[in-house]
Structure 1
Amino acid sequence: MAQVLGGQPPGEEQTQEQGYQLQNQHYYKIITSYMPESFEQDAVQIALVAVDKYRQLKDIAFYIKHEYDKKYPGSGKATEGVYHCIVGKSFASAVSHETRHFIHMKVDTYHVILWKSKDTPFTPGGE
């Protein structure tokens, strides 16, 4: 497995769980997190694999969201919440998130924001 710089390297069991051996050396740093440590470790591992496998930002973001949804599936209720992911080098964001479901990290030169928010019913016209 390639070396991971920054923070604690994800455990060997996580790499086997993902079924993917990192091909390149990567740096990561957790900038802000309101997640339990186990959720953080999963987010970091998934992001490292995404950056290792893909070059296009949309593909990296899609992979992270898709894999995190698989790891922590919801019940399908609209009021439960869903995960969202933004990946880029330069952007601004303002998001609302569920308590204990937000992380902002840097992987190599990319910033990654992953959060869960509730989908609230929308009534056209504000009625």
Structure 2
Amino acid sequence: MEKQVIKYHSPPDHNSPPEHLKLAAIAVNLNIRLRSADMPFALQERALRLTRSFLDSSASRRPNLTLLARSIKKEFDRCYGLAWHCVAGKSFGSFVTHSPGGFVYFSVDSYSILLFKTEVQLISSDPLPACRR
């Protein structure tokens, strides 16, 4: 006798806005401007909320941006695996390579935050090939 598998899908909720609109509304509510992202919406939301919470907790004094970057990096390492990197500041240039789905760049107040994930590979003891010109 052949077993039949029936999958039930709930009908789409046409009253619920798409994820990107929900994220945009959250960003506006937190007074954050998303600049660029290649990251699932749930992870972006977590980064935005962590940043806003940290800045709000240091509202009476100038925030320690190194501590902010470290806090975000450690939280993402803990929740989503190792090799996250975070840069926070008022003025910096960057050009990074990131793992697919592991990049977000946003600004809040007068600060910019860059969060990205890289792939971790062990470096072998074999000599590296020479770079060609």
| CA deviation string 1:39-61 (max 9, x = no partner) | 11111111111222341110110
Report if the CA contact (8 A) 1:50-1:64 is conserved. no
Could you tell me how far apart the structure 1 residues matched to 2:54 and 2:77 are?
14
* SS in structure 2 at match of 1:33: strand
Tell me if structure 2 keeps the 8 A contact 1:7–1:28: no
For the pair shown, the structure with the greater C-alpha radius of gyration is 2
Per the alignment, residue 58 of structure 1 pairs with: 66
Task: Compute the TM-score of the two structures, normalised by the length of structure 2.
Answer: 0.66
- Alignment partner of 1:35 is 2:52: no
Is 1:105 matched up with 2:106? yes
Amino acid at match of 1:7: A
- Percent identical pairs in the alignment equals 27
CA drift at 1:67:
1.7
Question: Which aligned segments of 4 or more residues in structure 1 are displaced greater than 3 angstroms?
Answer: none
In the aligned structure 1, how far is the partner of 2:38 from the partner of 2:101? Answer: 5
Residue in structure 2 matched with residue 89 of structure 1 by the alignment: 90
Cα drift, residue 89 of structure 1:
0.7
Q: Which amino acid aligns with 1:71?
A: C
How many residues of Structure 1 are paired with residues of Structure 2 in the alignment? Answer: 101
What one-letter code is carried by the residue in structure 2 that aligns with 1:104? Y
Residue identity opposite 1:115 in structure 2: F
CA-based RMSD: 2.4
Q: 1:120 aligns to what?
A: 121
2:48 corresponding residue in structure 1: 44
- The TM-score with structure 1 as length reference comes to 0.69
Q: Which residue does the alignment assign to 1:7? A: 24
**Ranges in structure 1 where 5+ consecutive residues have no aligned partner:** 1-5, 11-24, 75-80
Give ranges in structure 2 of 5+ residues lacking alignment. Answer: 1-22
SS at match of 1:62: helix
